[in-house]
Amino acid sequence: MKIAIVGATGEVGRMMIRNLVEFEVPVSQLDLYASKRSAGSTLYYMDSAIQVMELTAAAWDKSYDYILFSAGSGIAKAQAPEATKACQLVIDNSSAFRKDEGIPLVVPEINGSLLKGYKGIVANPNCSTIQMVLPLAVLDKLFGLRKVVVSTYQSVSGSGHKGLATLQAQREGSDDLGDYPAVIDLNLIPQIGAWLDDGYCAEEEKMHSETCKILANEKIHVCATTVRVPVMYGHSISVYAEFEQKVVLALAEEKLSQAEAISFSANTFTTPLDLGSSNESHVSRLRHGGDDYSLAFWNVAHNIRLGAATNAVRIMLKHAGYEA
Ligand SMILES: NC(=O)c1ccc[n+]([C@@H]2O[C@H](COP(=O)([O-])OP(=O)(O)OC[C@H]3O[C@@H](n4cnc5c(N)ncnc54)[C@H](OP(=O)(O)O)[C@@H]3O)[C@@H](O)[C@H]2O)c1
């Protein structure tokens, strides 16, 4: 496969390169793009040293099978439509196209069938949404999902390089807030993204609109409170969900244990530090939510892996007819 990664030097881009190795993707050509700042630097794919190139429109004179974008919404809007002329599929990690009608928003284990015969841009969902919607899709099939109330605990790597650098600097005594609206070290911040008119912030709105789009049900109510916490890697979510039908706890446990891309723990819990290099959505502490029509659970996943790079690489592999 001939593959290009845009934003290859970022947290997500570097993980995409690791995933190509880990999933033994048959790569015949790998071109790495970033901004002018990183052009000329070297990244490694297995034993091959690859020089990072500055992204310019000339990149799309070449021909690829797949182009993975992970460089933010601005670059995606400016470059992804042109890039579709150079490949079968552009997979974009930003929020630029997620709400566009006609652009599939894909978690392969849930709605990967949308990829069949599709060409153009595919949107990779928001990190917290991917990990949460995997177990919700299983439960939705069993009992009919109606309403979800969540609080998230999102790591600083969710803000890319800069988030990690800001936490590290504050830990060493800096009072630079970086891009955050408050101090993050030894603190937490209940705002991720810009404020909206309805009192929610952008990340919360994404969890609502993207959950409905992926589960193909606009009637699901999602009330999210998204919180940045001083954790380096791994997002955690406390989930409460209500259903149309009576919940059978044992059946929920059985189906979650068997589901693809989910690791279910009946008797213990997962913390962000436990994740290591896991590509799965970890579900634990499953219990009734106070009545027979609801469930509560604890959900943890690696935001750079499952929440970004791994889902994108799985989209590519599914489209190409491979399984990750
Ligand atoms: N971090 C997460 O948990 C996560 C989860 C889901 C989705 N995402 C999305 O994934 C994307 C990347 O996130 P990240 O965390 O990897 O961010 P990051 O660590 O800040 O990396 C950003 C990447 O974009 C590149 N870039 C910036 N301006 C560019 C330009 N003008 N032309 C070409 N490349 C440019 C950077 O290259 P330089 O090295 O040259 O600056 C770098 O490779 C974002 O859209 C983000 O919203 C991130």
Per residue in 184-224, pLDDT tens?
999 999 999 999 999 999 999 999 999 999 999 999 999 99
| Burial status of residue 268 (CB atoms within 10 A of its CB: 0-12, 13-18, 19 or more) | exposed
Q: Could you tell me if 152 and 279 lie in one domain?
A: yes
Q: Could you tell me if 195 and 263 lie in one domain?
A: yes
Rounded distance from Cα 257 to ligand 1 centre (Å): 34
CA–CA separation, 307 and 34 (whole Å): 21
Q: Could you tell me if 239 and 316 lie in one domain?
A: no
Q: Could you tell me if 163 and 296 lie in one domain?
A: yes
Q: Could you tell me if 20 and 35 lie in one domain?
A: yes
CA–CA separation, 215 and 304 (whole Å): 22
Rounded distance from Cα 14 to ligand 1 centre (Å): 10
Indicate if 235 belongs to the active site.
Answer: yes
Where in the sequence is the domain holding 213, given as residue range(s)?
Answer: 128-303
**Coil vs helix vs strand at 50:** strand
CA–CA separation, 104 and 125 (whole Å): 10
Which of ligand 1's atoms lies nearest the C-alpha of 303? 3
Q: What's residue 155's pLDDT?
A: 98
Q: Binning pLDDT at 50, 70 and 90, where does residue 324 land? A: low
What is the residue-averaged pLDDT of the chain? 97
Q: Could you tell me if 293 and 205 lie in one domain?
A: yes
Assign residue 214 the CATH number of its domain: 3.30.360.10
CA–CA separation, 237 and 232 (whole Å): 15
With a pLDDT cut of 90, the percent of the chain lying above it is 99
pLDDT in tens, 150-164: 999 999 999 999 999
Assign residue 81 the CATH number of its domain: 3.40.50.720
> Ligand 1, atom 37: nearest CA belongs to which residue?
34
Q: Check whether 179 has a pLDDT greater than 90.
A: yes
Torsion (CA) 200, 181, 128, 23 in degrees, nearest 10: 150
Q: Could you tell me if 75 and 220 lie in one domain?
A: no
Q: Mean pLDDT over residues 273-284, rounded?
A: 98
Q: Binning pLDDT at 50, 70 and 90, where does residue 242 land? A: very high
| Ligand 1 pocket by Cβ (under 6 Å) | 6-13, 33-35, 37-38, 55, 70-72, 75, 93-94, 127, 157-158, 160-162, 303-304, 307-308
Rounded distance from Cα 164 to ligand 1 centre (Å): 13
Total structural domains within the chain = 2
CA–CA separation, 17 and 22 (whole Å): 9
